[in-house]
Amino acid sequence: MADTGKTRDQKLVSALTDSLLAAIIAFALFSLVLGLRTVDGATGLTLEPRPGLLLTVVAIVFFGRLALNLFVWQTQYPLTTPFAKLFNIEPFDRRDLVTLGAALVFGAVWFATGLVLGEAVYELLGIVVLLFVGLGLLRRWLVQRFPNLPYTQIFIAGGIIFALFFPIVTYALESVFRFGMPLRYWFDLSILILTYVMLGWGLNIVVGLAGLLDLGYVAFYAVGAYTFALLATQFGLGFWVCLPIAGAAAALWGIILGFPVLRLRGDYLAIVTLAFGEIIRIVLLNWTEVTGGPNGVAGIPKPTFFGLPFSPFAEGMTFSKFFGIPYDGLHALIFLYYLILILALVTNAVTLRLRRLPVGRAWEAMREDQIACRSLGINTTLTKLSAFATGAMFGGLAGAFFATRQGFVSPESFTFIESAIILAIVVLGGMGSQLGVAIAAVVMVGGFEALRHTAGLQAIFGEEFDPALYRMLLFGIAMVGIMVWRPRGLVSARAPTISLGDADRISGDLVRQGRG
Amino acid sequence: MAYFLQQLINGVTLGSIYGLIAIGYTMVYGIIGMINFAHGDIFMVGAFIALIAFLALTAIGVTAIPLALLLVLIIAIGLTAVWGWTVERVAYRPLRESFRLAPLITAIGMSIVLQNFIQIAQGARVKPLQPVVTGGYELFQQGSFTVIVSNIQILIVVTTVLVMTGFWLLISRTALGRSQRACEQDRLMAALSGVDVDRTISLTFVLGAGLAAVAGLLYLLYYGVIDFFIGFVVGIKAFTAAVFGGIGSIPGAMLGGLIIGLIETFWSAYFSIEYKDVAAFSMLAIVLIFFPTGLLGRPEVEKV
Amino acid sequence: MSETGAKPWDHAPILLVEHLTMRFGGLTAVDDASFSVGGNDITALIGPNGAGKTTVFNCITGFYKPTEGMLTLNGSDGTPFYLERLTDHEINAHARVARTFQNIRLFPGMTVLENLMVAQHNVLSRASGFSFGAILGLGQFARAEHDALDFAKSWLDRIGLLSRADDAAGGLPYGDQRRLEIARAMCTRPRLLCLDEPAAGLNARESEALSALLKSIRDEDDTAIFLIEHDMGVVMRISDHVIVLDYGKKIADGTPDEVRSDPHVIAAYLGVSDEDAAALEGGP
Ligand SMILES: Nc1ncnc2c1ncn2[C@@H]1O[C@H](COP(=O)(O)OP(=O)(O)O)[C@@H](O)[C@H]1O
Ligand SMILES: [Mg+2]
């Protein structure tokens, strides 16, 4: 929108008018809901005016919009250009380099501030800026220098190697040097991320490959978790017995729920799957005799290392006694880490294999054009069911893992918001792309988690400030922002499943998203 | 019989509220073919605006209930409409020509944003309001059971009927309605024949949000308590109502709202209150299996 | 036009359409049409726009359930398939009828080769033990896939797209997409191939090549062709048998020469487009 026809003054005036309008709208939006706060008084609710807050927000909108107008939208040299150029091969000019340099300095300053204050949010912000610009420059330089390296494969291999060695290496380092790394926290977080990677990959089969919009995926996660929990606590079955049963139960539910709804198309399918997700949660909540109702099922046994419990006290053989090492609570955690890593990698391997089998091609063909599929003799109902059941099975396996990790399941863990997060990971990652889903899971779950450490923000905004609330708010804003920025997700190109020569990846613009 | 009649009255009241919200879903779906997932939360924001406006009016001394309610209604419709407009402008318009899933994800994102924004701005505690409209009529008595229709129920049904009539006139008699129908059928053709598509879509969101604000006010008055989470459950049920009636069809949304309200009320009354949502959602699945495009939706033969 | 005397296509018809009627609400798109499609023929279905031709195809291939009428497809061993009782995918899988679409329906985000592999889904799926076998690494699938790949390559060669096998189908030029859609249908190894306006949008040279391709399919692949076409040049040049629909009714049925001189047909076409009528009268 660089309008060369306008003089400077005209631009300034139009920028000011636009910003003023935005400020007025912001005032209308926030006047009541932000400017007045309902508080419990002696005689019911009373109002507490917060004019300062309201004015601050309106001012932020005004000046933010003004800055955008002046430096991005209504100028011949938008400040965003150099950042966009990071991802293509247009040559940089002096101004670009100055801007990028400034961004690097900015990131470094924020990062340093974070270090000094011991404040993860600042560090994180700094890291994000540094990584974005730094890695962008590095990538650009590499691609220009060595255009033919298989970057994606290198990246994937690097990721997998990192995931394989991360716990052992950090644990070994910590045992020897005692850096005081918060390993328990890191492992917990990685386990959480890997769980979402696995769930994302499972849902990716349904949404990304088969093009069926499922808003109730969490139902299968719940079925797996409860199946596992009940089998383990009521019948005393071991982990390795319960795990496949949980997966099978979820797959069965996938078929049971899938059967009636798969005749529906598109958004009808979406809403019915959402309804089914809610139905399952409500049943879990109210069928107290079996599921324990709101209290859930507790006392789910932790997994054992092929029969050897991780315990300092247990009678008989334990993991630490068997290997003759001192007991450490981290052992169990590391075991859980590898367990979910293996489950996730199996999910990935099976998915990649299925993509190259007739059924996988049929899923993708169905996403591209269902009518054409049927004209080629493909039974789309069965194909949809197979996608639903396969996706559900992985959801169930992840659920079983969740149950054993937590030692406790309750309906609270299986709300719609979980389905929404998993779906967001799939869509933001780039539908159908295993790599994109993994990156999105790391970014969303990791970023979400990083926002937990906001003691410093509390120092600024006061003790009442509850970062957990802002996390969800920022999560929602990120969902909207990333989608508007990249509607096709982070990795949108599609890799062919069979080729005669070296096939290129197919541009995301040609790949369809399915109509259910 | 008396019990049945009482439930019928309650069900119609509830159904009116669902119907008002369902229209917002159905209009947006009709015109741009997306589920406006954040609409339930727009309803919730509307309820909060109504609550705060009512408290504010009381605080500045507007104590005549009818006047206060009228003002609250106007304020709520006006400000909620701005919310509806903003959501469309920020989260949906940039993705208008994009892939089908993108706006659905931004809609879910917006729903999360609205819920958490209200939670932060107004607190997570439930917000009770002293009964504003009280009293009612005893219709008749059977045994120990008295059938009562309360004033608030009358107010809700009458308001709904008035608002829907006005709304119906608006979209069937004015240029706006014509533009909407033109955009529904073929947006490109509509644009070529001079319809301002962006404006029509914006107005659709504004209208939907306005109706949701009415529903929010009525909900607040009826139940006397709201919180930041009501948008989710009520929203899903209203969407169910819209689908039930045949999404895209405005009379269908009203009918669907009534049916969902009745199912929910009767299920709670005769079976179990815990499973009332299960009943509503199961009905949705059952109906869709037999009428894949809802009750009043146009039957859709896939053109090959 | 005379209905007397048995025509060659009546002797060994692959498809027998009897009293086919299709109504959409008040609109009768196909009105009591009866005809047969010969087993070794190229049969053309022509008629003005909106005459109901595509609807006939949709009834034959199971995308619409006919309001009335019987559609009998004679199987290779003589067993009849009653198409009106089968669903769309069964018609392809069992009765071996394949089709293309008036608005091309490829899988645009998949490669040319993948499109042809998807078409061999049923064969491959069986060989893969419905995926369970192949995932466990059981043999036979590799072989079957190899064969399928060879078959696909032979078709790519025939339509001149071998060099573009790894490109996205959605990125091909229009004419290539049309041919690819035909090859994809042929990869289901059909006995009857229904083509909905295959020459639409092609230039003269491409139409020429298409005619040759269709003839080779009839002669070499033992597949009967039933096509809807507006390009009278193509129709008159390659068809053995022409059926004319107007307002859902069959108004003529015979050899190209018979149809060309049929007054009903001329009247119907004159009402629509001078160009096509001239083509009918003058011939190619
Ligand atoms: N699914 C449908 N629903 C309603 N009307 C249809 C449908 N399919 C076709 N028609 C109508 O049937 C008539 C014949 O259409 P069609 O078979 O496509 O004609 P042709 O292929 O000969 O041009 C047209 O008037 C068309 O609008
Ligand atoms: Mg046609």
Mind listing the pLDDT tens digit of every residue in chain A (516 residues)?
444 556 778 888 888 999 999 999 999 999 999 999 998 888 788 888 999 989 999 999 999 999 988 888 877 778 888 887 877 777 888 888 888 888 899 889 988 888 887 776 677 778 888 888 888 888 888 888 888 888 788 888 999 999 999 988 988 888 888 877 778 888 999 999 999 999 999 999 999 999 998 999 999 999 999 999 999 999 988 888 999 999 999 999 999 988 877 777 777 788 888 888 999 999 999 998 888 888 999 888 888 777 777 777 767 777 777 777 777 778 888 999 999 999 999 999 999 999 999 999 999 999 999 999 999 999 999 999 999 999 999 999 999 999 999 999 999 999 998 999 999 899 889 888 899 999 999 988 887 777 666 555 565 555 666 666 778 888 899 889 988 988 888 888 888 899 888 777 888 778 887 765
CATH 3.40.50.300 residue window(s) in chain C: 1-96+190-284
Q: Report the chain C residue with the minimal C-alpha distance to residue B301.
A: C64
Beta bridge partners, B55, equal none
Please, how many CA atoms are within 13 Å of residue A363, restricted to the half-sphere of its CB?
Answer: 30
CATH number among 3.40.50.300, 3.20.20.60, 3.40.50.620, 3.20.20.10, domain C1-96+190-284: 3.40.50.300
Cα torsion through C267, C268, C272, C278, rounded to 10: -60
Segments forming the whole domain that contains residue B176: 2-290
Beta bridge partners, C36, equal C16
Ligand that lies nearest to the alpha carbon of residue C196, given by its number in the listed order: 2
User: A251 to chain C: which residues are within 8 Å by CB?
Assistant: none
In a domain, B88, yes or no: yes
Q: Whose CA is nearest to atom 12 of ligand 1?
A: C29
Ligand 1 pocket (Cβ < 6 Å) reads: B 301, 303; C 24, 27, 29, 47, 49-55
Which strand ranges, in their side-by-side order, compose the sheet holding C224-228? C97-99, C192-196, C224-228, C42-46, C241-246, C249-254
CA C66 to ligand 1 centroid distance, Å: 13
Query: Into how many domains does chain B fold?
Result: 1
CA separation for the pair C188, C223 (Å, rounded) = 11
Beta bridge partners, C18, equal C70
Nearest-neighbour CA in chain A from B147: distance (Å): 30
In a domain, B211, yes or no: yes
User: B302 to chain C: which residues are within 8 Å by CB?
Assistant: 63
Q: What are the CA-CA distances from residue A128 to residues A133, A136, C9, C55, C76 (Å)?
A: 9, 12, 73, 57, 66
pTM given for the model: 0.89
Enumerate neighbours of A (3 or more CB pairs within 8 A).
Answer: B, C
In a domain, B302, yes or no: no
Q: Which helix (H) or strand (E) holds A167?
A: helix A151-177
User: C63 to chain B: which residues are within 8 Å by CB?
Assistant: 302, 304
In a domain, B297, yes or no: no
In a domain, B41, yes or no: yes
CA A486 to ligand 2 centroid distance, Å: 38
In a domain, B30, yes or no: yes
C164 and chain A in contact, CB less than 8 A: no
End-to-end CA distance of chain C: 21
Nearest-neighbour CA in chain C from A393: distance (Å): 15
Lookup: tokens for A58: 């309106």
User: C60 to chain B: which residues are within 8 Å by CB?
Assistant: none
Lookup: tokens for B167: 């709304």
Q: What are the CA-CA distances from residue A25 to residues A22, A216, B84 (Å)?
A: 5, 36, 12
C166 and chain A in contact, CB less than 8 A: yes
C59 torsion bin: left (phi>0), alpha (psi -120 to 50), beta (else) = alpha
In a domain, B304, yes or no: no
Specify the CATH number for the domain of residue B206: 1.10.3470
B99 and chain C in contact, CB less than 8 A: no
CA separation for the pair B112, A420 (Å, rounded) = 10
Lookup: tokens for A116: 């000094």
User: C54 to chain B: which residues are within 8 Å by CB?
Assistant: 304
Q: Report the chain C residue with the minimal C-alpha distance to residue A364.
A: C110
How long a stretch of residues is chain A? 516
In a domain, B301, yes or no: no
- At C17, give phi and psi (nearest 5°): -110, 120
CA B181 to ligand 1 centroid distance, Å: 23
Neighbours of ion ligand 2 (CB under 5 A): C 54, 102
Sign of CA dihedral C94, C95, C96, C102: negative
Nearest-neighbour CA in chain A from B258: distance (Å): 19
B301 and chain C in contact, CB less than 8 A: yes
What ipTM, to 2 d.p.? 0.90
Ligand that lies nearest to the alpha carbon of residue C55, given by its number in the listed order: 1
Interface contact flag, A47 B102, Cβ < 8 Å: no
Please, how many CA atoms are within 13 Å of residue A250, restricted to the half-sphere of its CB?
Answer: 35
Q: Whose CA is nearest to atom 25 of ligand 1?
A: C50
